[in-house]
Every structure is written in structure tokens, then in C-alpha cells.
Amino acid sequence: MNKFTLLLILILAAGCSSLNVQTNFWDSPKAYLAQTPPGETPVKFAPRRINDSPYFSTGRCAFSTDGKEFYYCRNNDWFSAKEASIQVLRYDGDKWTGPTTFVRQFYAPAFAPGGDTLYFIGGGKGGVTQVHRRSKGWSEPETFIKRSYVLYDFMPARSGNMYAASNINGSIHDFTCYDICVMAPVNSGDTTIHSLGKPLNTPGFDGDFFVAPDESYIVVSAKEHPDYECELYISYHKSDGGWTNPKSLGPRINNGLAHRWGEYVEPNNKYLFYSYGHGPQDCALYWVRFDDLLENLRHTNFEPYVKDSIVRQTAKPKHLFSFTVSDQVFYDDDGNGTLSYSATSADGSALPAWLRFDSETKTLSGTPQRPGTWMIRVVATDTAKATAVCTFPIKVE
């Protein structure tokens, strides 16, 4: 091979490499509506483009798999879908055009993994609605799933599993009954819905989330207050099929009380989007660099949590009482061998005089002298000094 042939090969290779870079739209300055990408501090996403007073962007958004279409929900009220609509902006090869109305009274758009089907909820129909991409646009909306229970924040995964929040454990109007759930693929014939249980779900409202297409992680709105102010947490999928105890996305994202929901990670897996506000008047769509945070949090401490609560224990006066805390009560994703245990009265004061606690065997024992009820608190502490607390009564009858 002479030097001229080698030079020609190098030139062609460089040209092909340059072409590959140019065809990756996600890395071009036109991507993400040509907005300046954020760093580790969240900023508003395209505020001059997608907010049109009195309307505001709200809830989950969605990019097409090639990044050249952007769908988001617009509304003028948090709790009514009367004026809600899904808007779309498209990149025409030179610039972004729109927004235009895609469908009315629907929200929470979510693409199927292949990108040729788009799901959303609302429309007064209940369940999940779908449209399919055609050569000349999208098909008419049609019902995809209709169940006797509510399906909120529906999301499909590559495996065919389907995720949604649902009121399977209570009334449609009791929002404390909503759990994040999973359903089998539609073609499996299994119509059962299953709560993901602890530690993802709590006694409060658990409904706003984003699950990765490969189901490797889930971002949830956690620590819900009565008015739904919350923080964003992340949980990782474990090899045994369970989920790790959710951990905070950090103070730059969780910078005080606010409503945070509609979490979404775009197909390039680089930025997290979510709705943020203290009321409709300041509600907006925010975005933040997420890929490094996603990986870094995987390797930080997981806090222990209560897996199975301790039920009321009973004793008799002047009879020996003994109770050993089960290994199933506390769980630590870093390994239960990291935990140490202590016990006090529920208010943090010393145990009653008749009761003692062996921290090695996790056993409470003693002989009560009179009837009464004592509230006991057992604390599990990991090596990072994070704790989990379980409180229960001992009733002496």
C-alpha cells in the first residue's frame, strides 16, 4: 500500500466519522428545541416557546426516538383536564415549528419503545388511549386499555411490561390508595395489576414516576405532603426483581418544598425533565443534566427501611415476656450485615424499668408487674449512620 492510497483511506474514514457525528441529531445544536443544555442545576426548559399565558406546560413530556418531535401537555388548571391538550413541536430539517395542538383533553404522553405508538391518558375515557404512526401522520385515537380501576401515568417498557399508578387498594377519590404498579404485556393474557410494594410505595400518594425503558431504574415523586408537595427520588431495579430503597436526587433538584411531578428522561438518556411549581401561576417544565447523577447515586449509601412492621405484642403481669425482632422487619440494600440495633420508648426516653433489649440477638425481654400499654421504638442504624425506625405497642393485659 503506497502513501497515496493510505491518505485516501484516512480521508474517507474521517469523512465517514464526520457524517456519523452529524447524523446524531441529539448532539447537534438544534436538538432539544435548540435550547442551551443545563448542567447539574435545573433550569426552565424553553419557557418562551412552550408557555403561553394563561396556559402553562405541565406533567410528563416526551421526545420521539430521533429527537425531532417534542410532545408536552398544556393546561390552565392543575386539577381539571377541560382545557388540557397535548402540544407538539417538530424539527423540519432547518428549524423547530409549532407548537400545534396534537390532541385535546389528554395528558402524560409516552412513546412505545419502538417509537411508532404514542400513549396518553385522559380524554374523559378512562384507561389508556393510543395512536399509531402512519406514513402521512398519526392514526385516530383509540382505546388501548380499559380497566375497572384507574390507570395514571401509564408507561410501557421494552420487555412488554406496563407500568402505571393505580387505586387498586381503595377508592378512586382516595389518593392515598394510589400505588405504582406493573402489568404483564397485553398479549400475555394476564390482566392482573400488581403493586410494586415497599419500598417504592408508601401509605401516602404514590403516582408520579418515570421508569427507564430497560426497567433498570425508576424516578419517583416521594415524601408527598398533604398538598402533594414532594421531592424526586430514584430507585434501582435489583437482580431479584425488587427495587432499592429510593434515594434523593440531591439538594439542587430538591431545593425546598414544591410540587415536582411528570418526571421524564429523554431517549438520549442525558437529561431529566419534570414539572415544578408552587402553584399554577409559576408552574413550568424544568430540565437538568442526569446521566452522571444516575450513575453516581448508584454507588452511594442506601438507607435502611422498615420492610415488615411489628404488630402489637401482648404480655401478662408477673409473667416473663420475650420478643425477638425478626430479620424481616428491617432491610438494607447495602446488606443487612451493616445494621446495628437499639431500642427505647417511643418518645426516645429509656425503656420501662421492667424491659431490656439485647442488641446482639434483637430481643426484648422482661417481667411486667402491672397492666398497661408501652409504646416501643426499635432503631436500625447502618454504617453511614442512616436509620430506620419501627414503633409498636406492648400491651400487658
What is the pLDDT confidence band of residue 145, given thresholds at 50, 70 and 90? very high
Domain boundary among 246, 262, 297: 297
Same domain, 63 and 84: yes
Residue 256 has pLDDT above 60, yes or no: yes
Domain with 287 in it: what CATH number?
2.120.10.30
Residue 131 has pLDDT above 90, yes or no: yes
Mean pLDDT computed over every residue of the chain? 91
Residue 12 lies in a domain: no
Same domain, 275 and 138: yes
Same domain, 359 and 246: no
Residue 36 has pLDDT above 60, yes or no: yes
Give residue-wise pLDDT tens across range 214-250: 999 999 999 988 888 999 999 999 999 999 999 999 9
Give residue-wise pLDDT tens across range 80-91: 888 999 999 999
Closest C-alpha to 108, from 89, 122, 95: 122
Q: Which residues contact 239 (CB under 8 A, 6 or more apart)?
A: none
Residue 1 lies in a domain: no
The answer to whether the beta carbons of residues 112 and 133 sit under 8 Å apart is no
| Residue 354 domain boundaries | 305-396
The answer to whether the beta carbons of residues 305 and 243 sit under 8 Å apart is no
Residue 28 lies in a domain: no
The answer to whether the beta carbons of residues 397 and 318 sit under 8 Å apart is no
Residue 20 lies in a domain: no
Residue 5 has pLDDT above 70, yes or no: no
Calculate the CA dihedral of residues 195, 196, 201, 207 and round it to 10 degrees. Answer: -70
Same domain, 285 and 338: no
Question: What pLDDT is stored for residue 20 in this prediction?
Answer: 42
Residue 6 lies in a domain: no
The answer to whether the beta carbons of residues 374 and 293 sit under 8 Å apart is no
Question: Per-residue pLDDT averaged across 196-202, rounded?
Answer: 95
Question: What pLDDT is stored for residue 17 in this prediction?
Answer: 44
Same domain, 271 and 338: no
Question: Per-residue pLDDT averaged across 92-115, rounded?
Answer: 96
The answer to whether the beta carbons of residues 181 and 164 sit under 8 Å apart is yes
Give the rounded percent of residues in the chain with a pLDDT score beyond 90: 80
- Total count of domains within the chain: 2
Give residue-wise pLDDT tens across range 319-378: 999 999 999 999 999 998 989 999 999 999 999 999 999 999 999 999 999 999 999 999
Same domain, 51 and 117: yes
Same domain, 250 and 333: no
Residue 37 has pLDDT above 70, yes or no: yes
Residue 74 has pLDDT above 50, yes or no: yes
Question: Does 144 or 77 have the greater pLDDT score?
Answer: 144
Domain boundary among 297, 326, 360: 297
Same domain, 281 and 389: no
Same domain, 276 and 380: no
Question: Per-residue pLDDT averaged across 365-393, rounded?
Answer: 97
Domain boundary among 244, 263, 297: 297
Same domain, 252 and 122: yes
Residue 201 has pLDDT above 50, yes or no: yes
Can you say whether the dihedral through the CA atoms of 197, 203, 208, 210 is positive or negative? negative
Same domain, 352 and 204: no
Residue 4 has pLDDT above 50, yes or no: no
Closest C-alpha to 295, from 211, 340, 234: 234
Same domain, 329 and 291: no
Residue 237 lies in a domain: yes
Question: What pLDDT is stored for residue 280 in this prediction?
Answer: 83
Question: Per-residue pLDDT averaged across 46-61, rounded?
Answer: 90
What is the pLDDT confidence band of residue 281, given thresholds at 50, 70 and 90? confident
Domain with 371 in it: what CATH number?
2.60.40.10
End-to-end, the C-alpha distance of the chain in Å comes to: 96
Question: What pTM value is reported for the model?
Answer: 0.90
Question: What pLDDT is stored for residue 147 in this prediction?
Answer: 87
Question: Per-residue pLDDT averaged across 40-61, rounded?
Answer: 92
